[in-house]
Structure 1
Amino acid sequence: MSTTRRAAVLGSPIAHSLSPVLHRAAYAELGLDDWTYERFDVDEAALPGFVEGLDPSWAGLSLTMPLKRAIIPLLDGISDTAASVETVNTVVLTEDGRRTGDNTDIPGMVAALHERGVEKVESAAVLGAGATASSALAALSVICTGPVTAYVRSAARADEMRGWGERLGVDVRIADWATAEEALRAPLVIATTPAGTADALAGAVPPAPGTLFDVLYEPWPTVLASRWSAAGGTVVGGLDLLVHQAVLQVEQMTGRSPGPLGVMRVAGEQALAARERR
């Protein structure tokens, strides 16, 4: 008799997460008819109780904000990748109750760039200095051979980015957000800012730009991504990141590899298109 295996994405707010769409599409393609994937609105205060209440049917969790660091004390161990940025977005649960954390955002970023032909760059720029920016620095530690300039709004954020750079072995240089238009001349620009923040930079996109990795996927395309693409530059979007990191989550949680990247991407595109029609 088959036993249902459960997985879910946790966060707050969580209603607009595409993770259920992606994971369910993967399960269907892999023939995992007895697997379910749900979403739960869980904040930091409720997280310990939720985790303690999980039974052996649970195979994994995806974590989004604000839980990516709050989950760490509740785990039995985390991967070196997750430890490098003190951020966990994936938990694999075994039937004996062990909980192991990983970060698939970092290899997901690298894979998304590789898919668009970006293997190595001599320098890069990061717009923003939040949690996603630290993952971006970790990804750049793999593909960037030279300095990374981080454009930030405050001294505190600048200190954080310098600290992550030292920890990750990345030569991080700090620039004020007021000069962020200069970032667009870098061969690779990773925009990690909230929706709308980088729109004002669109008018400064140079002729023949390099590669823009904008981590947003809704609304898409962003104003900056549209202008970048129109100028002939390569654009990597948030859905690319979401799909690549989700593939790795599916592989870890189900033990089935490779995950169905193409099927998951199509499911994500269809879901976003349906939202736009509403």
Structure 2
Amino acid sequence: MREFGLIGQSLGHSFSQTYFNQKFHNLDIDDCRYDLFELPTIAHLPALLAQRPGLAGLNVTIPYKEQIWPYLDEVAPSAARVGAVNVVEFAADGRRIGHNTDVTGFRESVRGFYPERGEAAGALVLGTGGASKAVEAALAELGIRRWVVSRNELGRGLTYADLTPAILEAHPLIINCTPLGTAPNVHECPPIPYAALTPQHYLFDLIYNPSETLFLQKGREAGAQTKNGFEMLCIQAEAAWDIWNK
């Protein structure tokens, strides 16, 4: 039995197990399973690996996409250029290799959603975690200029207090890379000036549970185009499956 799974701190919202186990069922793959592994801290990873010697691959989610690095033997270029890992490959020789498929997932999902390129294109990336880094890399590949937004006044980008109507007008694409709004905390949302949103805006939320977060709801009510992270999940999951079976 080949075993795969997802590690994170809180996984009640995740569809990854359902996605992969449905994939195994649809393809009549009866020698694979996918489980969820909630770890209080990343320091619990060695114990998990010792308990599950049959692990053939892992996905990694909040907050461990950056914290997992010391537990890897190698980092693939896809993760090295981003600074975050969301897939772990267990090589035949025992090495644990970190990869990043979030870049591919977001890039392909947003490509058909947000039509602008060049000077007219501009994005605000909400959050500074591992997912945010992947989104930044994808936006760079698409030629979309961007600002990172966080609560940290000493950070390298903007703070939420800096978000004026003029800044929102100049950055039609707004991507939520924070966990705010994830089930069960569905009444939360990033503190942007929603009153400044217009039908010219495009709101993309990496969250897919719920299917419409409060962030997306407020965007829809302002006439903006909206999209959740389910397609991104599917694309990055298939890319992970390719890595595990190369």
2:211 equivalent to 1:220 = yes
AA matched with 2:231: D
Deviation at 1:27, TM superposition (A): 1.7
Deviation at 1:230, TM superposition (A): 4.5
AA matched with 1:189: I
Structure-1 residue corresponding to 2:227: 236
TM-score w.r.t. length of structure 1: 0.75
AA matched with 1:254: N
Q: Secondary structure of the residue that 1:136 maps to in structure 2?
A: helix
Structure-1 residue corresponding to 2:185: none
AA matched with 1:25: Q
AA matched with 2:224: G
Deviation at 1:118, TM superposition (A): 4.0
TM-score w.r.t. length of structure 2: 0.83
Q: Secondary structure of the residue that 2:29 maps to in structure 1?
A: coil
Partners of 1:202 and 1:89 in 2: CA distance: 31
Q: Secondary structure of the residue that 1:142 maps to in structure 2?
A: helix
Runs of 5+ consecutive residues of structure 1 not aligned to the other structure: 160-173, 256-278
Partners of 2:150 and 2:7 in 1: CA distance: 29
Q: Residues 199 and 224 of structure 1 are in contact (CA less than 8 Å); yes or no, is this contact kept in structure 2?
A: no
Distance 1:234-1:242 versus aligned 2 partners, 3 A rule: same
Partners of 1:123 and 1:89 in 2: CA distance: 26
Q: Secondary structure of the residue that 2:193 maps to in structure 1?
A: helix
Partners of 2:210 and 2:172 in 1: CA distance: 24
Superposition pairs of residues 102-251 of structure 1, within 5 angstroms: 102-116=99-113, 118=115, 120-121=117-118, 122-145=121-144, 147-156=145-154, 158-159=155-156, 174-182=157-165, 183-185=167-169, 186-193=171-178, 194-195=180-181, 196-198=188-190, 201-206=193-198, 208-251=199-242
Partner deviation per Cα, 1:40-91 (whole Å, 9 max, x = no partner): 1222121122234542x32201111232223222222111121123211101
Structure-1 residue corresponding to 2:4: 7
Distance 1:181-1:226 versus aligned 2 partners, 3 A rule: farther
Q: Residues 68 and 88 of structure 1 are in contact (CA less than 8 Å); yes or no, is this contact kept in structure 2?
A: yes
1:71 corresponds, among 68, 72, 75, to 68
Instruction: Tell me the matched-pair count.
Output: 234
Partners of 1:74 and 1:175 in 2: CA distance: 32
Distance 1:181-1:25 versus aligned 2 partners, 3 A rule: farther
Q: Secondary structure of the residue that 1:149 maps to in structure 2?
A: strand
Q: Secondary structure of the residue that 1:10 maps to in structure 2?
A: strand
Partners of 2:193 and 2:206 in 1: CA distance: 16
Structure-1 residue corresponding to 2:16: 19
CA-atom RMSD in angstroms: 2.3
Q: Residues 172 and 200 of structure 2 are in contact (CA less than 8 Å); yes or no, is this contact kept in structure 1?
A: yes
Greater helix share, 1 or 2?
A: 1
Partner deviation per Cα, 1:5-55 (whole Å, 9 max, x = no partner): 110111222233211011112222232121100111222121122234542
Q: Residues 66 and 83 of structure 2 are in contact (CA less than 8 Å); yes or no, is this contact kept in structure 1?
A: yes
Q: Residues 6 and 36 of structure 1 are in contact (CA less than 8 Å); yes or no, is this contact kept in structure 2?
A: yes
Runs of 5+ consecutive residues of structure 2 not aligned to the other structure: 182-187
Q: Secondary structure of the residue that 1:37 maps to in structure 2?
A: strand
Partners of 2:81 and 2:196 in 1: CA distance: 34
Identity across matched positions, percent: 29
Partners of 1:181 and 1:198 in 2: CA distance: 15
Distance 1:201-1:239 versus aligned 2 partners, 3 A rule: farther
Q: Secondary structure of the residue that 2:43 maps to in structure 1?
A: coil
Partners of 1:236 and 1:152 in 2: CA distance: 21
